[in-house]
Amino acid sequence: MVTTALFFTFAGLAIACAISMVYHRNPLYSAISLVGVFISLSCIYLTLAAPFIAAVQILIYAGAIMVLVVFVIMLLNLDDEPTANRLKYLWALGGGLGVLLLAQTFFIFYAVMRAPNVPSDQTLTAGKTMSIGQAMYTEYLLPVEIVGILLLMAIIGSVILVRRLNQPKLELVVDNELELRHEEKPLI
């Protein structure tokens, strides 16, 4: 009973944050509302007895992905622009799709309530941290290592891209050094 109340509380909070995310015109406020959605989903995972997925939701989505989103928002320097009236037909389309989504939600709620209530076996450790870690480092060791190498390649690529942005300063230092030595710049 308590878990059901917690589930509906966090689900309501996730829906409220999602509405807030769509409602705000400022992209930074929308990103903060999206963090609220991710935290609510993490709490829902905790009520469903999946602590590993809840921790991954916080670390990966609310942490790393949202830092990237906020970084891109800051890089683009998005200002408040007046809204264009030429896309007014999208309000009707969005309303229709919203009604369709609401109907689907009620249908799923009705189907879940009519389903037989079968007790689950609590001895299974599906979704627990120990079983996930054991599977990752025994049966799925090769894919984990491949993902690690791909992430390392992405880090090295980002460092190379950042260094290319500072290349004119490097050429300036080389030109100054060549002038001090009284040499000419080699042709490449």
pLDDT by position in tens, the chain (length 188): 788 889 899 999 999 999 998 988 888 888 889 989 999 999 998 888 888 888 888 888 888 888 877 777 777 765 555 555 666 777 788 888 889 888 887 887 787 778 777 665 656 656 667 777 777 778 888 888 888 888 888 877 777 776 655 555 556 666 777 777 776 666 55
Indicate yes or no: pTM above 0.85: no
* Rounded distance between C-alpha atoms, residue 84 and residue 98, angstroms: 22
> Which domain range does residue 181 map to?
140-188
Q: What is the pLDDT of residue 40?
A: 93
Domain tally, the chain: 2
Nearby residues of 77 by Cβ (< 8 Å), 6 or more positions away? none
> How crowded is residue 98: how many other Cβ atoms within 10 Å of its Cβ?
10
Measured CA distances, 20 to 57, 163, 169, 180 (Å): 20, 39, 44, 61
Domain boundary among 79, 102, 124: 79
Residue 12 domain-assigned (yes or no): yes
pLDDT at res. 121: 61
Place of tokens 């009284």: 182
